[in-house]
Structure 1
Amino acid sequence: MPDLHSLTAPLSIRFPDGTRHVMAEHFPHPKGLLWFEPYWHLGDPDKTIHLTEGAIRGEGPWKVGDAVVNVLGCHGTDAALASAFEAWRHYLAANANDYPPRPLVEAIARRYGATP
């Protein structure tokens, strides 16, 4: 499987407490993985942009600290995550002009210390 940072397939992240999220964007960070929730650009970045600390290990699924990153739809992804991603995909298709352009998304990631 490709390197996590070159992957363009939809991803999910699962934490030890069982919490799962769809990752709308993800970037390498010196401390681990910076990732954005769907609709991150509509909310408070302090609540929708996250840094998961830890070394990135594996070839898919990947471990980042104690969290596990999977390609959405693989390794037991639940229906709620698939539905959340589908809603996000439809939102983007209908509101493409409202989503920040890629250079701005990368600039925001850099502001949080990522290295896009």
Structure 2
Amino acid sequence: MDERRPRWIYGAGHEPDPRFSLANERTFLAWVRTALAILAGAVALYSLGVPDPRWVRVTVVVALVLAGGLITLLAFVRWARVERAIRTATPLPAFTLGLGATVTVVLVAVLLAVALALGPG
């Protein structure tokens, strides 16, 4: 009896070629590393006091922390949806996580650029 969890994924379809499941896991872990890098960037910005004024720094840091947490959650959801699609031989889900991460990073970059350009100095 298969005791792997979550059962709604592992109980569906048939056992795929392990290479596909392992590739899916590596992609999930890459997204987790991306989220950790975003969180580290938030900590660095807050610790270094960049940018100034403080409200911009806090806004950027909060946005990055929320983005890091959300990316981690969505990476798990994507892993599960892809694994289920692999197991049931159905089309892979759309790649919305990448678009969301890209938009978030671009918005934060624009906010940082404006704050640094208008900041003291």
TM-score bin (small chain) = under 0.3
| TM-score (norm: length of structure 2) | 0.23
Q: Determine which structure has greater relative contact order: mean sequence separation of CA pairs < 8 Å that are 6+ residues apart, divided by chain length.
A: 2
- The structure in which a higher percent of residues are strand is 1
| TM-score (norm: length of structure 1) | 0.23
